[in-house]
Structure 1
Amino acid sequence: MTTMQPPRAETVPTPAPTGVLADLARAPWSFEPVQAVRVLERAAGSNPADAVRFQGVLPLAFPASAVAGARLGQVEGAPAVLRIAHLGLLGPSGVLPSHMTAAAIEAERRRNPGFARFVDLFLDRQGAFFHGAQVKYRLALAHERAAAEGREDAITGALRALTGLGTPYLAGRLAVDDLTVIRHAGHFARGPRSAAALEAMLSGQLGAPVRIRQFAGSWVRLDAAERSRLTPGGFCRLGVDMVAGEKVRDVDGRFEIVVGPLSRAHFAALLPEGAAVRALTDLVRLYVGPAMSFALRLVLDRREVPPAELGEAGGLRLGWTGWLTGAAPPARDPDDAVFEIGA
């Protein structure tokens, strides 16, 4: 009777390193420890926190670099080994007496690395804490590591709170990307809202010159019950509450976002039906609040004005992309395409 052997798990060898991984394996001394760990964590992909094991160096000579060697995992998913010289219990930078390093070297010569590997158990924890402290106070590295682990770093969370999107329920609800808003957290953190800050934000997002035309003004229609009439309580006191007509002029409640001059393709991408305008509207509304209305005025480069021709392909749209021009370009950039996107 034959006994059945349990199936053995298949191991997939680690592919040969290429690019910057090959550079790290070939010349580890040319890397700083934080960058070497970063390269190995990026190569690990799904589980960067367990991508690296730290080992010390045993020679008593003064190390020429902080990183003495790097070895990738033998099988796919196995952690890489990074030999470091700037930390440790043994070696030239170690805190243990030198005779213990000499004993570990002698054991290595006898092919008995057990003592050195036991000491490396403590070094691995020490190296992980040291690297974590370096990453914590480097914004780019902290953001990159948190993104690889599927979470948000503390600095990004603080910047998100400054923009008013700090609670989880507000994340990802705008047409504009949250990272775009976070990039302008300095403008949102200031109390007064300024046209200069809005111009800076929108010009960076749209990739075109932006000018805010303040006090553009608008007509506000009065409800029938609010209009003046010759009855008691009918808002008919001269100089107090009487209004002639059914609408009044609001001077400071509206502004215009003037974008351009634009190429024809860029002009078409900023028409109200596009996703770029929805993102722009959400960003502006988040910044200025609900009290003000605004319009988008697109300025087309006069050399890009299309001829007035009838046709199905690329036909002109009245009030949007159509101008009555002659053979020569107009004398100035047309700026009469105005869209009320924030009414």
Structure 2
Amino acid sequence: MRSERWWQEASVIDGLFHTPTAYEFIQTTRLLRHDPIFNQVQHWADHFSFESSIQLNFPVSELESLNLVDDKIELKNLMVGLLGIQGALPYSYTQKIKLSPRKQRDEVQKFIGLFNHKLTAQYVDSSLVYNLPVRYEIDQNNHYLTILHALNGFVRQQHQPSDLEDFFAEFSGLMQGQNNNVHALKTMLCCVFKQKIEIKEFIVETFQLNDAQKTSLGGLAKNALGLNTFCGEKVRQVDGKIEVQIGPLTYPHYLDYLPGKGLSEQLRKIFKSWCDPTLHVDVRLILKRTDKKAVQIGANQSLGLGQGTFLMPTLTEDHNEFCYALIREI
């Protein structure tokens, strides 16, 4: 015969039965399903009895009661069911049952409990299948990262293995099915690089039209102003370029963000993977005023002026004059 206190050696289970309101509903079900006896029955829910709650007050916890009766775990939850404040049936059903005589109330609750038990068990099974954090814990093959990448359209097979995969998964909510904005981009960059980052939008660019792009009389193509015909020889564009300002930086970090360096290439990968491929990106590096270094004769320095070395550095303000094109059409 099964021991009534099979959980007595497990402090977590013991605490669960003493204070069930301190646990979540799915968490409680998962803990109690660890009983070895459950593996000998046809379905795990056969050792449970999910009863309906008739409480209409605001739920302060997910569980109302938890008891072990007749070798079954009776569990009343306030999150899902047919009756109660979160129930699928209208409140009037619960109210009528509460006001009915005790014997009739118990009979009706037992009858509704037959349907409520099956529906609640299906809800638990669905939660274990579709709840991503739970899948991450119990799935032996662990496709959790791939599922999160699928939310934002990031296909790992189309990209080389990168240390940025975890960040794309973390910010999948910001990347999911929407146009990128300054807030989303700034949030991710600040988390990845651990630096103060500002992003300026609508940087004006001016393009000079060559002779082949100019409209001339006598052509066979139709000319439409604003589509393929422009007034003047120059075109201004304000929605195709942004400027990323990073800093103030210390001198070692400043060197890592220079063109071709490690952090600069990592920044390029983020924009190439996330943003519009036609977007132009400029990077402006801000060097702390206390880290400005003057040119020294004989010093082993391979950097040019303005890229970390200065003739007569002023120590009263940060240096923010160095700006380079991170992504630009060739």
CA separation in 1, counterparts of 2:166 and 2:198?
Answer: 23
Contact 2:135 2:142 in 1 (8 A): no
CA separation in 2, counterparts of 1:193 and 1:134?
Answer: 31
Output the amino acid matched with 1:169. Answer: Q
2:92 corresponds to which residue? Answer: none
Gaps of 5+ in 2: 1-7, 15-33, 38-65, 73-123
CA separation in 2, counterparts of 1:196 and 1:145?
Answer: 34
Aligned counterparts, 1:231-246, within 5 A: 232-233=218-219, 241-244=230-233
Output the amino acid matched with 2:322. Answer: A
CA separation in 2, counterparts of 1:242 and 1:234?
Answer: 19
2:157 corresponds to which residue? Answer: 169
The offset of 1:250, in angstroms, is: 1.9
- Alpha carbons of structure 1 residues 213 and 93: separation in structure 2 relative to 1, 3 Å: farther
TM-score after normalising by structure 1: 0.53
2:239 corresponds to which residue? Answer: 252
Output the amino acid matched with 1:338. Answer: C
228, 251, 267: which one aligns with 1:264:
251
Bigger drift between 266-275 and 306-315 goes to: 306-315
2:143 corresponds to which residue? Answer: 152
Contact 1:159 1:182 in 2 (8 A): yes
Contact 1:220 1:248 in 2 (8 A): yes
The offset of 1:323, in angstroms, is: 2.5
- Alpha carbons of structure 1 residues 248 and 309: separation in structure 2 relative to 1, 3 Å: farther
Aligned counterparts, 1:323-334, within 5 A: 323-326=310-313, 329=315, 331-334=316-319
CA separation in 2, counterparts of 1:158 and 1:265?
Answer: 37
1:184 corresponds to which residue? Answer: 171
TM-score after normalising by structure 2: 0.55
CA separation in 1, counterparts of 2:257 and 2:302?
Answer: 17
The offset of 1:31, in angstroms, is: 4.6
1:106 corresponds to which residue? Answer: none
What is the root-mean-square deviation of aligned Cα atoms in Å? 4.3
- Secondary structure of 1:215's aligned partner: coil
Gaps of 5+ in 1: 1-26, 34-52, 57-85, 96-130
- Identity over aligned residues, as a percent? 21
- Secondary structure of 1:198's aligned partner: helix
**1:340 is the counterpart of 2:321:** no
- Alpha carbons of structure 1 residues 316 and 217: separation in structure 2 relative to 1, 3 Å: same
**1:216 is the counterpart of 2:203:** yes
CA separation in 1, counterparts of 2:225 and 2:36?
Answer: 89
Output the amino acid matched with 2:319. Answer: P
Cα deviations across residues 110-142 of structure 1 (Å, max 9, x unaligned)? xxxxxxxxxxxxxxxxxxxxx999976775553
**Aligned pairs, number:** 226
